[in-house]
Amino acid sequence: MRIEISISNQTLTLLDDFGGVKAKYVISTAANGAGCEKNSGCTPLGQHIIRAKIGADAAPNTVFVGRRPTGEICTPALMAEFPNRDWILTRILWLSGKEVGKNRLGNVDTMQRYIYIHGTPDSTEMGQIGSHGCIRMRNCEIIALFDLVAVGTLVVILE
């Protein structure tokens, strides 16, 4: 199984071992576009793997900070209280680059940039750029994807 992410189409496609489509989701990638450099706020390109799966038993809309649940559930009231928070919700698939010099090690290391596939508030518009580098998904969809993939699954991010 592998995941293909298209920045231009704002889609994430889960493919089986024979290239058949198992699932397809509308997503949101970086407002700053594609790029691999640290502190760029861009979504990194190339081949990655899922390095870690975080939040397996978390309730939908569980808020994560530093990959740990805060004990909060995201609501409109909580969002109003913290309007500048980058909401990482429900599940986290932490990515690690596979291509040295492109998205692994040095100033381009995807894992050290904390790039995830993660849930986002229901009010977040999908199919539009808007993240700080991560790949945002609807909470019900990140739960479904999380349950279908394993650590080590290949993730290819294309412009």
Instruction: Give me the percent of the chain exceeding a pLDDT of 70.
Output: 100
Alpha-carbon dihedral sign for residues 24, 115, 32, 130? positive
Q: How far apart are CA 48 and CA 65, in angstroms?
A: 23
Identity of residue 85:
R
pLDDT at res. 2: 98
pLDDT at res. 149: 98
Residue 150 is part of a domain; what is its CATH number?
A: 2.40.440.10
Instruction: Give me the percent of the chain exceeding a pLDDT of 90.
Output: 100
pLDDT at res. 34: 97
pLDDT at res. 58: 98
pLDDT at res. 48: 98
User: Is 0.85 topped by the overall pTM?
Assistant: yes
Residue count of the chain: 159
User: How many structural domains comprise the chain?
Assistant: 1
Whole-angstrom CA distances from 27 to 85, 102, 114, 127, 154 are: 19, 23, 18, 5, 18
Residues 51-107: tens digit of each pLDDT: 999 999 999 999 999 999 999 999 999 999 999 999 999 999 999 999 999 999 999
Domain with 106 in it:
2-158
- What is the average pLDDT value for the chain, to the nearest integer? 97
Residues 26-37: tens digit of each pLDDT: 999 999 999 999
CB within 8 A of 70, min separation 6: which ones? Answer: 63, 64
H helical segments located in 3-159: 76-81, 139-148
pLDDT at res. 27: 98
How many CA atoms lie within 13 Å of 146's alpha carbon, on the beta-carbon side?
25
pLDDT at res. 78: 97
